[in-house]
Chain A
């Protein structure tokens, strides 16, 4: 561990002293902007991935929470994987954020390392969320799915439905795209090889299973035209018509469909994971943060979120408040949800480092 010495938190005075010491005249220049207003009303800082997460959280959670409690909630952009930043904050006790939006795997990792504070597990709203979508450190706000998306103009009347179809280049000719990562893609490859969704993680939990993954990928290798990396790239590939079928996040696919891309999603053999909110450990505002986290579990609030962020609400009660046309494209809509299986986060905690290494080695061989 690196520790440069511990400090409870930064206050205005030390910041100004540092600035003066550094010979910079304008004290405001060296004063952290997020703390500048903290003298008046209470303020909570929530880190999110930006885009529709920021605007969605603002409308669905931040504003109503402020109305209810008088606490101002501020949204802050964070890096794609904020784990390193959370670790740095808790170890130095320098809290840029009070609440952070995390993917479940990140919440699981940080929770197991003792870098997150416990949340309030007693609330009525929290109890409505299925057990698989929450822990004592983390409460899911939205469920996202990975599934098969295809160009409906190209495959009129006979669209690919399963990963075996995706692998079947004779019956379904066309340009294909997969993600170049050591997770998500292996699940897809095993199902294409005939492993039923419920056995995917069981089979993969051994070297023999991984050999099967890469044998399956070997068969498709020369038919994968684009290996995508960042999610925004997947939306762009769909929108520009660069590929005809792709394994992508449903929320990314929807962003392209909403702008007129002639794509549809097959929910069969899709899988879901989720993102949610957690509290940075040791935070002086932890009590207030717990109230905020509890607030995000509310069915009506989550329904409001789906208007901007087209992911599935984690609280099933939210569907009572969602327009049916919108509900149908969301991953947790019962008709869709029954086709999906959950990403096994403990499995990936054990295998992710190794699988990424194997996947990269495989990619380089091609």
Chain B
């Protein structure tokens, strides 16, 4: 790089405010989480240190560690989360790469497909997989009709089913998190690498891949932590051994009313997750995800720990090996299929990326398309093939004021949750990336912990808080509760984008006379737009698909869509839910297309 003064030196020139005031924007998120999350949840978890009579006791923890079951299930939970993360990252990367390197218009269209799982409720998605993957399901019928296998493939009620369900749910998030970073990578760097003699593979692995790592790290963190709390998908698509700790916690809290022991399990999960986060942070975290800006990293003091240096070295070796392998493979292919002069080397790798990413996108979109024909069945179940044709389920939804109010409320609460999460999350992300903060790891742990603490514990804790504040049964209470769950997504995603953002652009704007607001509006926000949109979507969807807090916090008539779906599926999951999902799919996709059309018109 050209010798531009390091930001730390330059900052002193144009910043007049004292150092500590620059960290102030992080306060809202800390205060918010402390009041509506940390204190109420700690009050509840405190019960795990008391016996039945309220005297201090470690009996719950003694039981927890003397019964092998709980540590075993905890390790299964981490195993499931880890595999989900690895598979989701590997499968999302080609999609994100294709999207990042294609034209704007094409990207917008592909995004619609990738977002589809977001708009169908988790209940509908899971039952769609049950019907698709079952012994007599669509996929097995196709396999057998094609003569690929005599016996039905065992792809559900085992670990494979769990992975399919969980990756399908979490991949859109991983794609968006990666994409928001990849979109800021200058593709001219690849061309520069090529002119300097790097083959396609070398240029990708040595230049593009390292630059995309913050997005991968953010995606991995979000997927891993979200997966830790899953339990419905493993319970419905998994085998008897796919047991998640969240389910055991719910059993203690709801069925046995043993909040002490349930709390102890919650503490175990939280403590383990924080230790994992701490290790991740030490080895990769702050330098890949968000820590210091690239410039400060390089110019940093020599005090990096041997652990960090070792993991950096390992990372470098892995990338070098991958680069070597891919160029060797390219050379081998060239030897088998001689290259004609007018076919540039990048063209075939491009075709491979398109095919792989296309298949993966189809995997994301298929269950949503499956839902549409099913919603016209005359039967009472979600089944394939649908029987006959009827508008009956749509009529039921359209004639029911409850369904309509639920749709309207879920969209409203989702939008407000997204706005509130952005208002407190985005400034926090800026501070976390750009300022030196004491106890930054602890602050990050606080921001991430709403994703780790099982929703049932948050829901109970919020109820006691809201009872005192008079917020039980209000939409405001629901928005606040959902913001607790959504704000980690906003912070992590925006942090990842800012990591690749060159702060010197802001300084350039500032030196050209732009004030802070103008800099944000005209320089910073346009450059991190992809990350902002992604975090807005994450926050919206988190609220839009949330059931537990909604069940606890909303009173009676103020029902949300997931709650109404849950109620409707009391005995069996019926096609009304697919009709609602189809409506939401059309409404949201239509809204996105319209917004896009309008913005393109104004752009002209």
Interface residues of A (CB under 8 A from B): 1-5, 7, 10, 14-15, 17-19, 22, 24, 29-35, 45, 47, 49-54, 74-85, 87-88, 91-94, 96-97, 109, 113, 175, 180, 224-227, 229-233, 235-236, 239-242, 251-252, 255-256, 258-260, 352-353, 356-357, 360-361, 363-364, 366
Contact = CB atoms under 8 A, between A and B. Distances in A.
A116 to B, nearest CB: 13
B54 interface: yes
B12 interface: no
B130 A233 contact: yes
Given A76-B556, A366-B240, A32 B571 contact: no
A30 B570 CA distance: 29
Contact of A259 (B46, B380, B477): B380
A112 B135 CA distance: 45
Sorting the interface of chain B by its residue count into under 10, 10 to 19, 20 to 34 or 35 or more gives: 35 or more
Contacts of A75: 556
Contacts of A113: 257
B571 A235 contact: yes
B570 A51 contact: yes
A357 B68 CA distance: 10
B236 A229 contact: yes
Interface of B: 43-44, 46-47, 54, 67-69, 72-73, 76, 127, 130-131, 134-137, 157, 235-236, 239-241, 243, 248, 251, 253-259, 379-383, 456, 460, 463-477, 548, 551-552, 554-559, 563-564, 566-573
A346 B257 CA distance: 16
A22 to B, nearest CB: 6
Given A33-B557, A366-B240, A2 B472 contact: no
A350 B134 CA distance: 38
B470 A225 contact: no
Contacts of B564: 77
Given A30-B477, A32-B474, A241-B135, 9 more contacts: A4-B464, A10-B467, A33-B556, A50-B566, A92-B464, A236-B381, A259-B381, A260-B379, A360-B69
A175 to B, nearest CB: 8
B54 A252 contact: no
Contacts of A236: 127, 130-131, 381-382, 572-573
Nearest to B257: A83
A240 B572 contact: no
B556 A14 contact: no
A96 B464 contact: no
B44 A353 contact: no
Nearest to A4: B468
Nearest to B255: A81
B547 to A, nearest CB: 8
Nearest to B256: A353
Nearest to B470: A14
A233 to B, nearest CB: 6
Contacts of A259: 379-381
A202 B3 CA distance: 84
A87 B54 CA distance: 16
A30 B471 contact: yes
A54 B467 contact: no
A92 B469 CA distance: 11
B136 A241 contact: yes
Contact of A84 (B127, B460, B466): B460
19 contacts: A3-B464, A18-B470, A18-B476, A29-B475, A35-B473, A49-B570, A50-B570, A82-B254, A84-B259, A88-B460, A226-B157, A227-B157, A239-B572, A259-B379, A353-B256, A353-B258, A361-B69, A363-B241, A364-B73
Contact of A79 (B551, B556, B571): B551
B101 to A, nearest CB: 42
B414 to A, nearest CB: 15
A360 B73 contact: yes
A352 B474 contact: no
Contacts of A31: 474
A256 B72 contact: no
A204 B463 CA distance: 38
Nearest to A361: B69
B256 A45 contact: no
A50 B567 contact: yes
B72 A364 contact: yes
Given A252-B571, A361-B69, A19 B551 contact: no
A339 B380 CA distance: 30
A77 B567 contact: yes
Contact of A96 (B257, B382, B472): B472
A4 to B, nearest CB: 4
Q: Which 4 residue pairs are nearest across A and B when measured between Cβ atoms? A: A50-B567, A51-B570, A32-B473, A77-B567
